[in-house]
Structure 1
Amino acid sequence: MVSYFTNDVSSEVTNFQKEISNMMHGFGDNPNPNAATVVLIESIVLQQLRNMLQDALNISMTRGAKAISNYDIIYLMKKNIIKLKRLYDYQQKLDRIDKSRQASCEGIAGILEDNKEQFKNRRTHIEVIKEFDEFDEVSQIKFDSIDYLRKVRAAKITETMPFEKYEAYHKARCSSFRTGHMNSKGFVKFEKWINPNKELKITTQAQEVLCFLAYETVAEIVDAVFLIRQDCKKKSGDPFSKFEGGFFCNTSSLSNAVYIKSGYEGVPAITVAEVREVLRRYFAPGYGMNGLFYRSVGASILARYIAI
């Protein structure tokens, strides 16, 4: 298949390095992340998103659709019930913030009637997820362990943090790949980044899901680095050695501190070598179902996505 993302120049101008740097800080990295690591993670996220778009394009063409929609992106996620649940909750949070999509759309001054009708007729992520969730597995998930452990880590980081640093940390936690809310303008920079030459027609809702997956990709990489650091602390003959001190959380016992050192500035910045080790473990075919970074996806590296 011919790639739609070759010889583009605009992607070199458009970047999310500042946003990714803030995200890494928000997920627990040093307040000043390694610049080379940020560039590497940005390239990983961009490659993952473009591979998703290639697969989503095949799905949309099979359906006879004129544009890539949220249906095509969520179709790629359908086997990962946990991420479907997280997207489901993400949609609900957006709806609560916006006081419902339809009501907010009607409240915008000067909006055109045809735009309102188009807005009402769009399928939400929740509707698409319910279509794929034949056995109602998503609604049966009552506890999001991924989100909970990230919140525990953030709580430990901010325990003794002064207000000035907490304000900066809070802004870092709010960083995302979206530059606006409630309108398509919030995805202008994002679309230039993933679709610089505009070869593909991507709906606003599809871009919203892609922003969510891009955010999750950064989070998964950072989480995996912490697991690697935790794994490196193991001592031969002492199964509990990796939970002694350090910068990690024992998932079996939340009484263990995520960050035992005073302050979060003492945390070493994530290095390029650690990110490459994450990729090596994730894509290594020999790890199988018992591997630390196993995902329920195919063996082909090109078809494997960190976020799903």
Structure 2
Amino acid sequence: MSDLYPKPATASCDSKNEQIYYTSEIRQMMHGFGDCSEPLIESAKIIEDVVLQQMRTIVNKAYEGADRRGSHTVTAEDFIFLLRKDKVKLQRLIKYLELKDFKATMKKTIDTDPIESALESDNFDKYKVAKKSYHNFVSLIDVNGELLKSGSTVDYVKQNRSLRAEMMTRKMDETRYIEFSKARRVSFANSNRHKFSDWVCSDGDINISKQGYVVLGYLAYETVAQIVDLAFIVRQDQNKIHGDAIDRLRLSYFNPYTYKPYQHNKGVITKAITPAEINEALRRYWSPQLDISGPFHRSSMRRQHPKLLSC
């Protein structure tokens, strides 16, 4: 398996702490993204290994950017900069950060004592400043002025995940729905940032800001989601009935163009994602033949850094 998942070359965060695991959390995330209620441990371990290696690669890339601007601390902007070539993923991240800040602002306002009610507007002012800072930074790196334009941008990946979740919950009873809702709230850094930082950078040689860990945790979460998405596409290709577009909709991958709710009045029974499906999904995603220069590569050649799933 080591030859399938090449490790980053930079060694500042390369020594894995064997006492830290995210297998349990990743199994819950897999369920939240559409896997069965009891995902396979073997599948979760493969995803955990991939996420760890991808996050260390991202940290090293972000640190290179911070070093070029003369800083010894990796900030949220250094991670955001890595998404500048993918408009949809960048906008998805910005919306996530804005929503997270808004929820924190609302919580502070609700928890404010009556004596301090006059300061409630200060919380929203801080939220507006944070929101503006994200947009200002993106504007600085936006060469063509297209990154923040969302009018013509449709996030089909997000749509597909929402459709999959809707299909899964249609026939759930209360107990299963509560379990599914809890699984969708599981993340990497929100509950225990120190565990996440020790997992990604066990050597502690790279300093990452608090907000930087928020973005990094989001990218780790998106990596799990992307792997699950790709695994379902592999399953679709294995099981679909050729030439019948309607029957394809019964599977775990939905085409937003052809989805019609009235055609799906039954619950979805999902089989556990297998290690073979994950390995095939990653093989396709990292195949050198899919690159622009793919035809000029030997099939046996491995790139030093695998293509990032979340950036």
Give the TM-score taking structure 2 as reference length: 0.79
Query: Is the deviation greater in 221-230 or in 67-76?
Result: 67-76
Alignment partner of 1:4 is 2:17: no
Provide the C-alpha distance between the structure 2 equivalents of 1:100 and 1:170, rounded to a whole number of angstroms: 21
Report the AA paired with residue 72 of structure 1: D
Query: Is the deviation greater in 60-69 or in 168-177?
Result: 60-69
Provide the C-alpha distance between the structure 1 equivalents of 2:28 and 2:173, rounded to a whole number of angstroms: 18
Bigger relative contact order (CA 8 A; separation at least 6): 2
Stretches of structure 2 lacking an aligned partner (at least 5 in a row): 1-8, 114-125, 295-301
Match in the other structure for 2:251: 246
Stretches of structure 1 lacking an aligned partner (at least 5 in a row): 109-118, 181-185, 292-298
Alignment partner of 1:189 is 2:189: no
Match of 1:131 among 140, 160, 173: 140
Alignment partner of 1:203 is 2:209: yes
Alignment partner of 1:83 is 2:83: no
Q: Is the 8 A contact 1:70 1:125 kept in 2?
A: no
Match in the other structure for 1:165: 176
Match in the other structure for 1:229: 235
Superposed CA deviations along residues 15-64 of structure 1, whole A, max 9, x for unmatched, are 21111111100011010000011011000000000011111122111111
Match in the other structure for 1:73: 79
Match in the other structure for 1:267: 270
Change (3 A) 1:287 1:144: closer
CA RMSD of aligned residues (A): 3.1
Provide the C-alpha distance between the structure 1 equivalents of 2:58 and 2:286, rounded to a whole number of angstroms: 17
Alpha-carbon offset, residue 223 of structure 1: 0.7
Change (3 A) 1:234 1:196: same
Alpha-carbon offset, residue 6 of structure 1: 3.8
Change (3 A) 1:81 1:193: same
Q: Is the 8 A contact 2:168 2:267 kept in 1?
A: yes
Provide the C-alpha distance between the structure 2 equivalents of 1:136 and 1:95, rounded to a whole number of angstroms: 25
Alpha-carbon offset, residue 263 of structure 1: 4.2
Q: Is the 8 A contact 1:213 1:307 kept in 2?
A: yes
Report the AA paired with residue 220 of structure 2: A
Report SS of the residue matched to 1:140: coil
Match in the other structure for 2:189: 178
Q: Displaced runs of 4+ in structure 1, greater than 6 A?
A: 119-123
Superposed CA deviations along residues 76-129 of structure 1, whole A, max 9, x for unmatched, are 11111111100110011112211279x77x969xxxxxxxxxx99989544432
Give the fraction of aligned pairs with identical amino acids, expressed as a percent: 29
Provide the C-alpha distance between the structure 1 equivalents of 2:34 and 2:259, rounded to a whole number of angstroms: 17
Report the AA paired with residue 83 of structure 1: K
Match in the other structure for 1:255: 260
Report the AA paired with residue 203 of structure 2: N
Change (3 A) 1:234 1:158: closer
Match of 1:286 among 278, 284, 289: 289
Provide the C-alpha distance between the structure 1 equivalents of 2:202 and 2:196, rounded to a whole number of angstroms: 9
Q: Is the 8 A contact 1:27 1:150 kept in 2?
A: yes
Provide the C-alpha distance between the structure 2 equivalents of 1:162 and 1:5, rounded to a whole number of angstroms: 44
Aligned residues: 279
Superposed CA deviations along residues 182-235 of structure 1, whole A, max 9, x for unmatched, are xxxx41111011011211111111111111110110001101111111122345
